[in-house]
Structure 1
Amino acid sequence: MTKISSKLVLITGGASGIGTIMGREVLRRGSKLVIWDVNKLNLHQTLEEFKQIGEVYGYTVDITNTVWVKEMARQLEKEIGPVDILINNAGIVYGGYFHENSSEKIDKTMKVNAIAPMQLALTFLPGMMKRKQGHICNITSSAGLVSNPKMSVYAGSKWAATGWSDSLRLEMKQLKTGVGVTTVTPYYINTGMFDEVKSNIPILDQFKVARKIIRAIESNRIYLSMPWSMRFVRFSQGLFPIWFYDWFVGRLIGVYKTMDDFKGRKK
């Protein structure tokens, strides 16, 4: 079990969506919370609300800037203390077919969704290993398991993050570090990030998702897939011919059409 109360928890992208809800959950458990977010206005509003709940700190950080990340990490540990639990929550998505994406969109998606979580883990992991305790939770996506048209760049970034996250778990276990790693692969969540997505599978409720993630960290859960049917994705990919899988998932369930009317979060 991972004890959250009295621990220092860092959540990236913690000033909106499930990041905010998870922050509220850890504060209610008696943790100290640090929020890193690139949106100054959202960060200020979240901090004002959370100060009424518990001990919270906030920093404006662009997690794609590794130099900035390293500097803010040093400042955080000097001013507050070492990070016990890192939740890599920040994410970004652009819709459209692959050839419709710009080089800038591809770079930004990969940096935010795949490279930044690795750099953040690389920054805080040595301290956790030295103390022989800690937890890293990487929120990837079911898109890290399922190919999908009009989100190929996003899926690519999440496949990378999912594979890295579970490999990291195995390394930490093999080295007997005492550091836990949880990989979260949720379906679409109603945070606004995927506005106008049409799905035959129910869109996940952000409050339920956030609570389940915190409980998964507390129980040292290896994988958290939502909804439960996502657990059978890998099994069915290996069991059935690809043409049948495409027909079943793409046409019958309609997953391959979910991004047709995608708009994304309104600015």
Structure 2
Amino acid sequence: MTKLKDKTVLITGGASGIGLLMGHKAIQKGAVRLIILDIDREALLNAVEELSNNNCEILPLSVDLSDESQLRETIDDIIGRGLQVDVLINNAGVVTGKDYKDHSFEEIERTMQVNSIAPMKLTLGLLPQMLEKGSGHIVNISSAAGMLANPGMSVYCASKWAISGWSDSLRIEMERERTGVKVLTVTPYYIDTGMFRGVSSPVVPILKPEKVARQIINAIENEKIVLRMPLIIYLLPFIKGILPKRLLDIVVGKIFGIYTSMNTFKGRAHDQR
């Protein structure tokens, strides 16, 4: 069992949404240091004030995860301070809710950089410390969209398919080499944080942020290798495997209404979780 007491926890996109909620819960579990990475400077200041705790040091770092130079500087800063990250939660994410033909090059680049490339690079930069210590926990927040195609979020789906495949491959490597480093892949459905403001879901319930944060922290403590939310998402790989593609389109698209769920999407300006 992984305990957060006296640990250093790093959360990307940690100044708002489920990132901020997980920060609260990490402190409640006894984390001694919380490192928050976020692009929103004002949100970082507010998060520090909200999370202020005499028993936990809060270290806010402003960084655009899509900028490799900033990401390298941040990794060097953390290591240069002599900090050992015990639990890394790759939570930050962005979404562009529009048909693929309406995307710009910049939107495609940013989505893939923030959702897929940055978690890989940040993990690569901090992993040597974990390997040397022989312990650590890497948590990658993917999405149910990493298992199912959905119109209106094609690039987001691509980014989450990438992170899911990398995350579980990393887990197998860490286990094969008996490194002591644990890897958890999280694949939630839509979360009611504002990032997916306006989406419709007539059958599958939209998740409550507080519950999602609590379940992720519990999954870390119990060393789960995969967490899917809500429970019906655990059936998705099976359903995809047994249904012909056209029938799957009918079940998922028409009966569950997933293929029209982004029709009313509004999102928000800063769309990290």
Q: What band does the TM-score fall into relative to the shorter chain?
A: over 0.9
Counterpart AA for 2:260 = K
Shift of 1:79: 2.5
What residue is the counterpart of 1:209 in the other structure?
Answer: 212
In 1: Cα distance, 2:93 partner to 2:227 partner? 17
What residue is the counterpart of 2:117 in the other structure?
Answer: 115
What residue is the counterpart of 1:69 in the other structure?
Answer: 71
Task: Give structure 2 stretches of 5+ with no counterpart.
Answer: none
Counterpart AA for 1:57 = L
Q: Give the aligned CA root-mean-square deviation in angstroms.
A: 1.1
Counterpart AA for 2:154 = S
In 2: Cα distance, 1:135 partner to 1:120 partner? 13
Counterpart AA for 1:163 = G
What are the Cα deviations for residues 135-185 of structure 1, in whole angstroms up to 9, with x where unaligned?
000001000011101100100000001111011101101111100000000
In 2: Cα distance, 1:84 partner to 1:74 partner? 16
Shift of 1:66: 2.4
Shift of 1:229: 0.6
Counterpart AA for 1:108 = R
Change (3 A) 1:52 1:131: closer
Q: TM-score, normalised by structure 2?
A: 0.95
Q: TM-score, normalised by structure 1?
A: 0.97
Matches within 5 A, 1:93-112: 93-112=95-114
What residue is the counterpart of 2:145 in the other structure?
Answer: 143
Counterpart AA for 1:193 = M
What residue is the counterpart of 1:247 in the other structure?
Answer: 250
What residue is the counterpart of 1:3 in the other structure?
Answer: 3
Q: Determine helix, strand or coil for the equivalent of 1:96.
A: coil
Verify the 8 A CA contact 1:136 1:182 in the aligned structure 2. Answer: yes
In 2: Cα distance, 1:117 partner to 1:15 partner? 17
2:52 matches 1:51: yes
What residue is the counterpart of 2:28 in the other structure?
Answer: 28
In 1: Cα distance, 2:82 partner to 2:219 partner? 25
Q: Which deviates the most, 65-74 or 103-112?
A: 65-74
Matches within 5 A, 1:228-267: 228-266=231-269
What are the Cα deviations for residues 39-71 of structure 1, in whole angstroms up to 9, with x where unaligned?
000000100111146321111111222232222
Verify the 8 A CA contact 1:77 1:83 in the aligned structure 2. Answer: no
Q: Determine helix, strand or coil for the equivalent of 1:185.
A: strand
What residue is the counterpart of 2:200 in the other structure?
Answer: 198
In 1: Cα distance, 2:129 partner to 2:267 partner? 37
In 1: Cα distance, 2:82 partner to 2:38 partner? 17
What residue is the counterpart of 1:16 in the other structure?
Answer: 16
Verify the 8 A CA contact 1:187 1:227 in the aligned structure 2. Answer: yes
What are the Cα deviations for residues 76-111 of structure 1, in whole angstroms up to 9, with x where unaligned?
233251111100000000011101100100000000
Equivalent residue for 1:159, pick from 161, 164, 173: 161
